[in-house]
Amino acid sequence: MKTVNIDDVYVRLQVRHPYMSDKQKAIAQKVRDAEHVVEQIKRHVDDVFDVEVVREYKGTCSHCGSRWTEDDPNYNGGCCHEDQDQYELSIKQGVTQ
Ligand SMILES: [Zn+2]
């Protein structure tokens, strides 16, 4: 039988996501804001063992931008025509995993 106990405790802090139409610029601003918060915590907060900026990544289809849902790095289950066509071409060429 599995027993679940608290293994660790930490604070998860997220900075506000700036409103910008350019997502890459918004992410860059969010990184700068997060780095600023890290500096301020290190400077002003006692009893902090570690604080760092953590980046989370997600895979998307290079053709249509859909979230990557498959384990296969070359085929996203046919999320779009391009994904499906590329997969079928790889089968014809014998380039499957
Ligand atoms: Zn796609």
Between the CA of 66 and the centroid of ligand 1 the distance, in Å, is: 6
18 or 44: whose pLDDT is higher? 44
- What residues sit around ligand 1, an ion, with C-beta below 5 angstroms? 61, 63-64, 66, 79-80, 83
pLDDT at residue number 94: 84
Domain ranges of the chain: 9-56
pTM tops 0.75, yes or no: no
Which SS3 state, helix, strand or coil, does residue 60 take? Answer: strand
pLDDT at residue number 95: 67
Tokens of 38: 């890290």
Mean pLDDT of 81-88: 96
Q: What is the pLDDT of residues 20-78, one digit of tens each?
A: 999 999 999 999 999 999 999 999 999 999 999 999 999 999 999 999 999 999 999 99
**Amino acid residing at 57:** Y
